[in-house]
């Protein structure tokens, strides 16, 4: 049951982020809908873990006093389902940028992919893509990248608990991964391509879980707004 008081006290909303939406756009849409419904001048709304525009799936949106829980939620383990395309690379490690190199991939078999995947399980050192929102010297890395400026991307330690190959239809590999906060699945796809003696970029990604929160219980922003608009004006 929606109510103004509940949103102000703090709600944790499970949103299924659509393709090509930014996480910021989702937060703005939720904030605008709540403010309009209850004629509020302002209300705190934030999300617990960015999803790239080309990814879909679970985005946790917190309102009111629940925004204090964002850091704890962000730190929880995450589960993704995705696909990578063998034989090509892009500067962004996904479909955001054009293909810059092509490589042979006919030598790659499913057993090889599974063997390589097993080598990424556990603690690994990862270099995030230059097209990322990580800050360096007060600027986002993608700001440097879009200007063609050279910048050293800092490495980070992340933990992969599970990496399962769920399908292989050359040149596309489908996978499921359970990982720690801070893991870049784009970098994982890129690194797997290198380990296979080829290249690869992330061709699709969907976040299905954050801790115990599941995308099966989430709704699209459009559905949230429709449900909110049709709710009673109850404030208690």
Q: Which residue numbers are catalytic?
A: 52
DSSP at 31: H
Phi and psi angles of residue 132, each rounded to the nearest 5 degrees, phi first: -140, 170
Bond preceding residue 171 cis, omega within 30 of 0: yes
Nearest residue to 163 (alpha-carbon basis) of 221, 93, 233, 80: 80
- Alpha carbon 53 to chain centroid, angstroms: 8
Question: Quick one: three-class SS letters along 47-77?
Answer: ECCCCCCCCEEEEEEEEHHHHHHHHHHHCCC
Exposed / middle / buried, residue 152 (Cβ in 10 Å: 0-12, 13-18, 19+): exposed
Q: Give the pairing of strands 56-63 and 200-210.
A: parallel
- Alpha carbon 49 to chain centroid, angstroms: 7
Nearest residue to 142 (alpha-carbon basis) of 184, 81, 200, 180: 184
Q: Give the pairing of strands 139-140 and 135-136.
A: antiparallel
């Amino acid at each position: 049951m929606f109510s103004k008081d509940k949103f102000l006290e703090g709600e944790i909303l499970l949103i299924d982020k659509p393709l090509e939406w930014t996480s910021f756009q989702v937060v703005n849409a939720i904030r605008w809908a709540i403010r309009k419904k209850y004629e509020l001048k302002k209300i705190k709304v934030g999300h617990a873990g960015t999803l790239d525009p080309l990814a879909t799936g679970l985005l946790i949106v917190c309102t009111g006093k629940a925004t204090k829980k964002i850091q704890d939620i962000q730190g929880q383990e995450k589960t993704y389902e995705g696909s990578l395309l063998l034989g090509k690379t892009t500067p962004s490690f996904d479909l955001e940028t054009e293909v810059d190199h092509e490589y042979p991939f006919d030598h790659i078999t499913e057993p090889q992919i599974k063997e390589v995947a097993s080598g990424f399980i556990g603690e690994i050192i990862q270099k995030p893509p230059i097209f990322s929102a990580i800050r360096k010297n007060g600027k986002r890395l993608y700001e440097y990248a879009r200007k063609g400026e050279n910048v050293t991307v800092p490495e980070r330690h992340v933990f992969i608990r599970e990496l399962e190959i769920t399908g292989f239809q050359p040149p596309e590999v489908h996978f499921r991964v359970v990982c720690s906060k801070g893991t870049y699945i784009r970098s994982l796809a890129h690194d797997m391509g290198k380990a296979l003696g080829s290249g690869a970029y992330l061709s699709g990604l969907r976040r299905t879980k954050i801790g115990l929160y599941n995308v099966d219980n989430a709704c699209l922003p459009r559905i949230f707004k429709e449900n909110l608009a049709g709710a009673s004006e109850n404030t208690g």
